[in-house]
Every structure is written in C-alpha cells, then in structure tokens.
C-alpha cells in the first residue's frame, strides 16, 4: 500500500510491516513501536507527532465519525450488548485498536479499525472473563471468548450494536450515583507496571517481575506455567507457526507472529482449560491484524482463531 511508505518511510517500512525488527530501534517513536510490536494503532492516532502525518490524521478523522469513536464508547457497546447486568463499565479494558489488512464481513474493509475489549473484572484478580471486538466503522460486535459459555465455533452471534445513550454509560446505576462518585474523586495511586498489565488481563510481567513473585499465588502460577507444554513466548510462537505451516494457510511473505498477552481464565472452558489456567494470545502481524490465535499454555492446544475471510477449525 503506497500510503504506508509515506507514513513510515522506506527505512522503517521493513521493520514495521515485514517483522524484520531492529533489536534496539533507537529512532522509532513509541507509537510506531506499538504498531510493530502489538498491532495497536491507537497511540498513533493520539500522538501529536503521529497526527502530523496525513494518513494517521485521516484514520483519526474517520474514527471520530464512526459508531464507536472512543475506547469508552467501544467498552459501553460491548457491556450493553453482550455481557449482561453482572458486568460493569469498569470491568472493560480496551487493549488495542487494530487496523484491518483485508475485507471482513463483520468489521469492514482494509484500513478500517477494530477495538479489542477485554472483560477483566477487578473482583477476579486479573482473570479474563471475555474478549470482544468492535468494528469502529460498522458498529458490529463479535465475542471471541466469554467465560460463561464454551465457544464451539468461530461463528458467534454478530449484530449491530445498539445506540448508547449517556445514561447507559453506567449500566445498573443512576446519574445521581455517578455524580456522587465524581464529586469525591479518589487520590491517584501509582501502580507498578505488572499491576497495570494485570488490569488489562496480561500476566506476562506479573509472572516474571521479582516483586510480583513475592506474592505466593503469582509464584504458584509462574511455576505452573513453567511445567506446561508452552512455558514461554518462543514456544507459543513456534506452536502457532507449526499450525500455519501444516494446513493452516501458511505465513505470508511479510508476516510475523508476536505474542500480545498471557491470559488467565476466570472460569473453566472445555477446550482452554480450568479456572486459573493460562492462555497465550499470538497474533500474525503484517501492517495490521491478520490472524489471532489463543493457545493453552498447559496443553498447547489452539482454542480460538480469528482469520479474516477464512474460518479454520480449532485443533482438537
């Protein structure tokens, strides 16, 4: 795509779109690293530096006019339409804004944007209760995982999102209660990096940080990970690569696989494992989201796959 060459420049193009990353990348801005490392385009659309580029500016303008223009709007749509009264706005976390690289019947066309929303209730200590994607351009929602049900196929219920009214921003609550909360704000507390990652459902830092591992439950989970079939990111990527190269459609010439999260299940799942089991999220990147895989760290089985325009059966 010609416009991408003008965005990233011919020197940065291979690093971002082909996966030939420089180990240090000292001159790459953080918003470009976010695209390169985890397919997240949101920092580029929020960065004053990024918005100087006409391509990013156009994406930001299109997003602002869409049915889901902000992270808060995307979370509200998912909570209202898909996860019921027991889930609140505070349980939702936007973890990325993806860019499509091909046509998708749910989310739109190339260059359209997709919000990833994880449901991570604070009361469940960082365990993942659900994941949904919201097409910014189409207003459609697809639930990729919900702990209350066991996904049996990738063809989950997809429907246009209902319009969110201001009063709906606090499901189950009232404007009066919301005003009272706003009137007495709590002083900000600076959380350690591993706690910030846990709030979005990612356990990688918590299971490798020396301070975090002083917490006995984290230490037990780290030991459990070490004993599993896929104890680290390299093995998770190798497993996803093996699937792609053996009947899974292969790797594109400019694609690469990256681990974007280590998730912990909030409830038992017939394919992913028991409550508290760990799941690797692996994405294929080529300038935007192409494929997303979930793999059980304990068994190595692949349980949830997103493939635009294609549907492959999960491994049994």
Q: Where are the domains of the chain?
A: 2-64
Sign, Cα dihedral of 160, 166, 172, 178? positive
At residue 25, the pLDDT reads 58
**Six-digit token string for 97:** 């804004």
The span from the CA of 55 to the CA of 75, in Å, is 26
At residue 287, the pLDDT reads 65
Listed in sequence order, the DSSP H helices in 121-168 are none
Closest by Cα among 275, 264, 307, 293 to 127: 264
**Six-digit token string for 246:** 């053996």
The pLDDT tens digits of the residues spanning 183-237 come to: 566 666 788 999 999 989 999 999 999 999 999 999 999 999 999 999 999 999 9
Residue 55: CB atoms within 10 Å: 16
The span from the CA of 55 to the CA of 52, in Å, is 9
Sign, Cα dihedral of 31, 110, 62, 144? negative
At residue 73, the pLDDT reads 95
For residues 67 and 76, the answer to whether their CB atoms sit within 8 Å is no
Helix axes 2-13, 54-64, angle to 10 degrees: 130
- Residue entry with tokens 């505070």: 90
At residue 145, the pLDDT reads 83
pTM score: 0.74
**Six-digit token string for 292:** 């997303």
Residue stretches of the chain with pLDDT short of 50: 1-24, 149-182, 310-316
The span from the CA of 154 to the CA of 133, in Å, is 13
């Amino acid at each position: 795509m010609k416009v991408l060459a003008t965005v990233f420049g011919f020197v940065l193009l291979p690093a971002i779109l082909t996966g030939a990353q420089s180990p240090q990348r000292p001159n790459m801005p953080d918003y470009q690293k976010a695209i390169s490392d985890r397919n997240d385009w949101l920092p580029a659309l929020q960065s004053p530096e990024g918005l100087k580029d006409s391509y990013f500016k156009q994406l930001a303008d299109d997003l602002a006019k869409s049915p889901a223009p902000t992270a808060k709007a995307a979370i509200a749509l998912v909570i209202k339409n898909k996860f019921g009264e027991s889930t609140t706005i505070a349980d939702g976390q936007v973890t990325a804004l993806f860019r499509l690289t091909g046509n998708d019947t749910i989310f739109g066309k190339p260059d359209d944007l997709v919000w990833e929303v994880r449901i991570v209730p604070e009361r469940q200590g960082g365990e993942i209760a659900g994941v949904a994607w919201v097409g910014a351009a189409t207003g459609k929602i697809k639930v990729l995982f919900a702990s209350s049900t066991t996904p049996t196929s990738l063809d989950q219920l997809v429907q246009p999102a209902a319009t969110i009214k201001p009063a709906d921003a606090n499901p189950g609550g009232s404007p009066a209660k919301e005003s009272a909360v706003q009137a007495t704000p709590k002083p900000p507390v600076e959380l350690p990096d591993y706690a910030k990652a846990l709030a979005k459902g990612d356990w990688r830092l918590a299971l490798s940080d020396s301070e975090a591992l002083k917490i006995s439950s984290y230490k037990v989970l780290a030991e459990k990970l070490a004993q599993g079939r896929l104890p680290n990111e390299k093995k998770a990527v190798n497993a996803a690569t093996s699937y792609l190269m053996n009947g899974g459609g292969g790797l594109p010439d400019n694609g690469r696989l990256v681990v974007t999260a280590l998730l912990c299940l909030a409830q038992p799942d017939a394919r992913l494992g028991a409550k508290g089991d760990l799941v690797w999220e692996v994405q294929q990147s080529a300038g935007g989201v192409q494929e997303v895989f979930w793999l059980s760290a304990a068994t190595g089985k692949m349980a949830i796959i997103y493939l635009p325009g294609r549907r492959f059966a999960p491994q049994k």
